[in-house]
Each structure stands twice: as structure tokens, then as C-alpha cells.
Structure 1
């Protein structure tokens, strides 16, 4: 299948493009900056460029991963988010409808689920961890990034209803390699390891899930999926996760504290939200390769950590000015 892959020069795109090719597809990369896997240098906000890409390359399906992201809020005005994340998505949906496509894959974000009260967590008076699945609501995104991604999701649902093609909306958890832009403690690798308990996945798992959605979307209608490493917890542990997360973690992983201490790491004192990827496992028969147990296994064996950490990483768009 000839697939238009937007965001092909970005962190997800550099993994997804070769995986698509290995799966027997022909990715046609589109991004605003050049890259190894980028064939078309253009913005998704440019409808003429999108139409030309469809016509010149015989596009059969779209995997729309290109977007402005949360760190871009400090660099770009709100209108740029509307142009890229909303108008860009509309351009692709209209082109897909005109080409009579039967599926559309959209990369969204779990960030749009984090309302002010969810973000406040234990400090805001929460008595149990928020359990975040696809039915969680109401959705009240707290910044322009979340607002525009939610608007783009609504466009995906609308075009599914208007034109009948199947849509997979993939709300991805964290998989960026750089340090967190709001938290400095604990250290980068320690924080990333902790997040595999409740809100992170590897970029490789994110890429493989996109391929699973592309290949299994037919007949699903319009479905939203959360992508995050499967948490070891159950919903009935939500209160304990707020009160004493290390004790809950010790119940599931008795040697976690010892393994962490040997590296000078700390476990989270409390966990205020848990992403539940159960739907993608059920409906797409998808399994994640890396979870918190895999992190501990690497620590036991003194093996390389199974996730990317690069504090010097900058997006190609930022690097290119």
C-alpha cells in the first residue's frame, strides 16, 4: 500500500517509515523539513501541496503523524497550531475522501485528556489515581496543543460519518527522547523508567501500533485508542497509588526498590494517573514489546535500557531554524 506519512522527518517518522517499508508498504514521507525518509518537503497546511502529493504518488492511505507539539507552544503562536494541526488534518481528510480511501490513521495525544483537575493530582486533593481510558471525559484540554488535537479528532470522526472510511485515532503517551520540559527531578532516565508504570511507551512500540492500525482498521468504523505501555496496576489500586505508590509497586515487583537504589534512582512517591491501553490490545490484537517489567529486567542484567534517552535531542524543525 502506498502510504502518505506526514511528519516523516520527526522522531516517530524516522522509526515508522522503515517499519512500514519492512511490512511491505511504500511510505511517501511529507514534512516541512528534509529528512532521510522525506520525499516531499511541504506543510500539511498547504492544500495545493497535499493535492499534488496525492496526484503524483498515487496515495492509497494516510498516516498523519505531522503536528506542532507541546514544546512548540514556546516557539509558535496559536494560529500556527490551528494551521498545522487543524487545517492540515482537514486538508488530508478532504484529499483522502476525494481519493475514495477506505482508512485514515491519525496520531493524536493523551495530553488532550489532562484537564486542570487531572494535572493537579495529589497536590490538588485527588484521593485516587485517575484511570484514563478512551471513555474518560469530559475533555477540557489545558493548552492550544491539546485543543487543536481534539479539534482534529472531531474532524476525523466527522469525515468518517460523511464519507464512510474507517479511522483509527491513536492517542499516544510519551515517547520523546529528550528531557522533560517541566520536570528536572528525578533525572531523565529515572523519570522515563518511572513513566513506564503509567504513561510512557517506546517509540518503536508507537510505530508498530500505527502499522497495526493501518493494517487492521478496515471495518472498525471510527475508533480511538490509547497507546501506552500496559500498566501493572488494576483500578482497585487507584487510591493506594495516590497514598503510597512504592508499596503498590513493591507488591507487583518486590525487587524494584533494590534495583532502583543500586542505580541511585527513586520510585515515584505517588502516581496520579494511569493510561489504560486495553482497547488497542483487544480490538487490534496489538501487544507492546516494552513495559515496566522490561525496564527492571534490564536493570537486573545490567543491560542497556530498552528506551531512548537523549537530552540533546531537538526536533528537525527546531534544528533547521
Structure 2
């Protein structure tokens, strides 16, 4: 299959493009920044750029290119609309016109987080699945990604273009742009309990979605490392997360302490990927247990932390 991959120079793209090729797919990469996996340089908001990519004979689309939450400080709201909404519409219309039978859209769990959820105002950890709502994104990033999801749903219903939406949780390699306590690797390790996956698992989820799209017509999935918790633990997770974690992983605190890390006192939300496991038969390979296993063995951590990582579109180079 000839796959158009947008965002091919980005963090996900650099893992997904080789994975697609490894199973025999041909890949045309499209990105605003040049890179080893990018064949068409330009924005999905530019109809001519999209036309150029489709003229190469692509048969399916994985749309991973977007402006992201850290870009809010760099780009105005209309640019988010142009890229994340109008760009998605350009691709959907081109795929419909070409008679494609699969379109995979990389969305985000961020659009599920209202200001109240972010502020953790409740007495229980919020358990988030695909039925959670009403959705009230708190910034232009979330608003535009939700709008793009709506376009995918519309094209599946009205035009018969099978679309799969993947709401991925965090897999960026750099530091959190809003939180520094606990720092770096410690924070990422904690997030595998409730809101993170590896970039490798993100790539594999897209592979599964690409194969399944024709039989699904339309569906939306949360993609995140499976949490070890049960919904019944939500209140205790908010009140005393450390106790819940140690109940599941008795040596977690000792293993963390060896690296100078700490366990969280409270967890305010948990992403539940049960639906993607049931409908796509996909489960992230790396979870919190894998992180602890690496700590026990003194092995490299099973995730990437790179404080120097800069998006290629900002770095000006692949």
C-alpha cells in the first residue's frame, strides 16, 4: 500500500515511516520541515501541497502532522485553525476524491481535559475513556483537534471514508513545558501509570489502525500505556496515590529512591485504553511495570527523555 504520512519529519514520523516500510508499504512523507522520510515539503493547509502529494498515487493517509500545545506560544490561533482544521479537511477531501478506504488521524487526549480536570478540583481521580464528556478543551490546540475529529466523523458518515481517530497520550521526548517537579525522567516514569506511552507504541498503534480502518468505518480510541489501577481506586488515587501504587508494586518506592526519584502523592486523572485493546487488539508493550523492571535490572529506561529535542519545524533542520 502507498501511504501518505503527514508529520513525517516529526517525532512520531521518524519512527512510523521506517515501520511502515518494514512491512512492505511505500511511504510518501509530507512535512513543513525537510527530513530523511519527507518527500513533499509544505503545509497541509496549502491545497497545492496536498495535491502534489496525492499526485504521487497514494492509497491511504496517516495524518500525524499538526501544531501542538507547545506551539501556542509561537503561533496565533488562526494558524492553528489553518493547519489543524483546514489542513485535515484538505486531506479528507483529497482522500474521498481518490476513493481511499482508510484514513488514520492522530488526535490527542489533551482535548479531553477541561480546565476543571486540569485543576484537579474533584475528590476522585477522573477516569477518562471514549465516553467521557462533555468535551471542553481548554486551549486552541484542543479545540482544533476536536474540530478535526468531527471532520473525520463527518467524512466517514457522509462519504463512506473509513476513519480511525487515535487520541494518543503523551509521548514527547523533551521536558514538560509547564511542570518541572518532579523533573524529567522521574515525571515520565510516573506518567506511565496513567497518561503516557512510548513513541514506539504510538507508531504500532497507527499500524494497527491502518489495517483495521476499513472494517471499522469510524471509531475513536484512547492510546496510552495500560494503567494498573481499577476504577474503584479512583478516590484513593486522588487522596493517597503512593499507597495505591505500593499496593500494586511493593518495591516501587525503593526502586525510585535509588535514582533520587519520588512517587506522586496524588493522581488526578487516568486514561483507560481498554477500547483500543478490545477493538484493535492493540496493547502498549511498555507500561509502568516495564519501567520498574528496567530499574531492578539496572537496564536502560524503556522510554526516551531528551531535554535537547526541538521540533524540526522550529530547529530549521531534520
Q: Same fold by TM (over 0.5)?
A: yes
2:251 corresponding residue in structure 1: 255
Q: Is the 8 A contact 2:30 2:40 kept in 1?
A: yes
Equivalent-residue separation in structure 2 for 1:279 and 1:22 (angstroms): 27
1:229 corresponding residue in structure 2: 225
Paired residue secondary structure (2:9): coil
1:47 corresponding residue in structure 2: 47
Equivalent-residue separation in structure 1 for 2:159 and 2:101 (angstroms): 9
1:76 corresponding residue in structure 2: 75
Q: Is the 8 A contact 2:11 2:311 kept in 1?
A: yes
1:63 corresponding residue in structure 2: 62
Offset of residue 24 of structure 1: 1.4
1:103 corresponding residue in structure 2: 102
2:316 corresponding residue in structure 1: 320
2:263 corresponding residue in structure 1: 267
Offset of residue 52 of structure 1: 2.1
Q: Is the 8 A contact 2:225 2:283 kept in 1?
A: no
Matched, 1:113 2:101: no
Offset of residue 53 of structure 1: 1.4
1:145 corresponding residue in structure 2: 141
- Aligned pair count reads 317
Paired residue secondary structure (1:218): helix
5+ unaligned residues in a row in structure 2: which ranges? none
Say what the alpha-carbon RMSD is for the aligned residues.
0.8
Paired residue secondary structure (1:66): coil
Query: Which of 202, 208, 212 is the matching residue for 1:216?
Result: 212
Deviation string 1:109-146 (CA, Å, 9 cap, x unpaired) is: 0000000111111xx2x110000001100001000000
Paired residue secondary structure (1:207): helix
Equivalent-residue separation in structure 2 for 1:25 and 1:268 (angstroms): 42
Paired residue secondary structure (1:179): coil
Deviation string 1:233-281 (CA, Å, 9 cap, x unpaired) is: 0100000000100100011101001111111100010000000011111
1:4 corresponding residue in structure 2: 4
1:297 corresponding residue in structure 2: 293
5+ unaligned residues in a row in structure 1: which ranges? none
2:89 corresponding residue in structure 1: 90
Equivalent-residue separation in structure 2 for 1:276 and 1:179 (angstroms): 24
Equivalent-residue separation in structure 2 for 1:176 and 1:254 (angstroms): 29
Segments ≥4 residues shifted beyond 6 Å: none
Equivalent-residue separation in structure 1 for 2:139 and 2:196 (angstroms): 20
Q: Is the 8 A contact 2:167 2:220 kept in 1?
A: yes
Matched, 1:174 2:173: no
2:184 corresponding residue in structure 1: 188
Paired residue secondary structure (2:119): helix
